[in-house]
Amino acid sequence: MKINFYATLRYIVGQKTVEIPVEDGITMRDLVYRVVSQYPKLSPELVAADGEIHGHIHLIINGRDAPYLERGLDTVIKPNDKIDIFPAVGGG
């Protein structure tokens, strides 16, 4: 599965797009943990100390922010889905 990273996350990963092997039935939540396992420096950006995914991260599945989908982070994704991960946008 191809995953696109933006802003500071792109610098941490070292490129815009990475490809991560996934199995059928994986959820967006599982994908985030898989990404963090392959790119540990992303962990503080994506996952809180208690293991929960930060609510301020934008996880986009086919153009829709995952928290607004019916199953949220438990939405099952398909290998050909378009995944974009954005860091929180700073406010002042």
Residue 77 has pLDDT above 90, yes or no: yes
Tokens of 87: 């860091």
Report all structural domains of the chain as residue ranges with CATH numbers, in order of start.
Answer: 2-86 (3.10.20.30)
Q: 31-52, pLDDT tens digit by residue?
A: 999 999 999 999 999 999 999 9
Residue 89 has pLDDT above 80, yes or no: no
What's the whole-number average pLDDT of the chain?
A: 92
Q: Model-level pTM? A: 0.90
CB 90 within 8 A of CB 10: no
Residue 67 has pLDDT above 90, yes or no: no
- Per-residue burial over 44-83, b = 16 or more CB atoms within 10 Å of its CB, e = otherwise: ebbbeeeeebeeebebbbeeeebeeeeeebebebeeebeb
Q: Which residues does 84 contact at the CB level (< 8 Å), separation at least 6?
A: 3, 4, 5, 6, 58, 59, 60
